[in-house]
Amino acid sequence: VQLVESGGGLVQAGGSLRLSCAASGNIFRINDMAWYRQAPGKQRELVATITSNGITNYADSVKGRFTISRDNAKNTVCLQMNRLKPDDTAVYYCNADMLSMQWWGKGTLVTVSS
């Protein structure tokens, strides 16, 4: 199973980006999907999760600005990020819970300039 993220880049504070993640390979059934991020010198942190039936949860720091969504038929998960702040700068990782294992993408870099 592979998870491949896309959509990262450089954006000014207040701007928007949309991250996408596609799962491929021997996919059986994906349970929860999530986005994590890791800023330089910091631990990886949970940004948002979404269950297979669409229930979402967000870190307090992104509530009201980020929206997670998924397409179960296409095995994709997206993260719409609005009103970005310099503190949002990080490598963003896609995560999938499948067959009682955690699968990770290699990450996509988001840089927010002030």
pLDDT at 33: 97
pLDDT at 99: 86
* Per-residue pLDDT tens digits of the chain, which is 114 residues long: 899 999 999 999 999 999 999 999 988 889 999 999 999 999 999 999 999 999 999 999 999 999 999 999 999 999 999 999 999 999 999 999 998 899 999 999 999 999
pLDDT at 28: 81
Q: What is the distance between the alpha carbons of residues 92 and 29, in angstroms, rounded to a whole number? A: 23
User: What DSSP string runs through 58-100?
Assistant: E-TTTTTTEEEEEETTTTEEEEEE-S--GGG-EEEEEEEEETT
Beta bridge partners of 84: none
**What is the token pair recorded at 17?**
């980006």
Beta bridge partners of 48: 35, 58
pLDDT at 106: 97
pLDDT at 100: 87
pLDDT at 112: 98
In which residue are the tokens 């179960």 written?
72
Nearest to 102 by CA among 42, 31, 37: 31
